[in-house]
Amino acid sequence: MPRMTEEKKYSMSVTAQAFYLPDQSDEENDQYVFAYTIRITNTGTVTGKVVSRHWIITDSDNQVQEVRGMGVVGEQPSIKPGSSFEYTSGSSLNTMVGTMRGTYQVTAEDGTKFEAAIPEFTLSVPRVLH
């Protein structure tokens, strides 16, 4: 039987979906609030615990905010192989459009540390982008 590669053993895939929150935004003062739902799926073969996060948030004026913190939404979820953890959080921008990307720092149950990439996704007020 072929030996599984290390990369497949320690693997999480991340998907994101963003929503504009007009009721929480203050467009006259350039405050645009977005929610996003993240799904982290363990595509590897070892249970992994999401211990921290690193976000890079860029608005359309190229202003960058970096956010680092422990866990996600106050938790450090352990995700078994084939299982997912989903949560919703939010971010605000001073422009109508921006992007978010980053990484989760994960520790496998055997102590191996690895990162799960958060692919870039767009935050946009509806009807601004075509």
Residue 57 scores a pLDDT above 90: yes
Q: For 14-31, how does the pLDDT look when each residue is reduced to its tens digit (9 = 90+)?
A: 999 999 999 999 999 999
Nearest CA to 104 out of 113, 93, 95, 96 is that of 113
Quick one: average pLDDT of 28-43?
98
pLDDT at 127: 84
Query: 6-124 has which fold?
Result: Immunoglobulin-like (2.60.40)
Residue 38, Cβ density class (10 Å: 0-12 exposed, 13-18 middle, ≥19 buried): buried
Domain ranges of the chain: 6-124
Q: For 70-122, how does the pLDDT look when each residue is reduced to its tens digit (9 = 90+)?
A: 999 999 999 999 999 999 999 999 999 999 999 999 999 999 999 999 999 99
Nearest CA to 52 out of 98, 116, 112 is that of 116
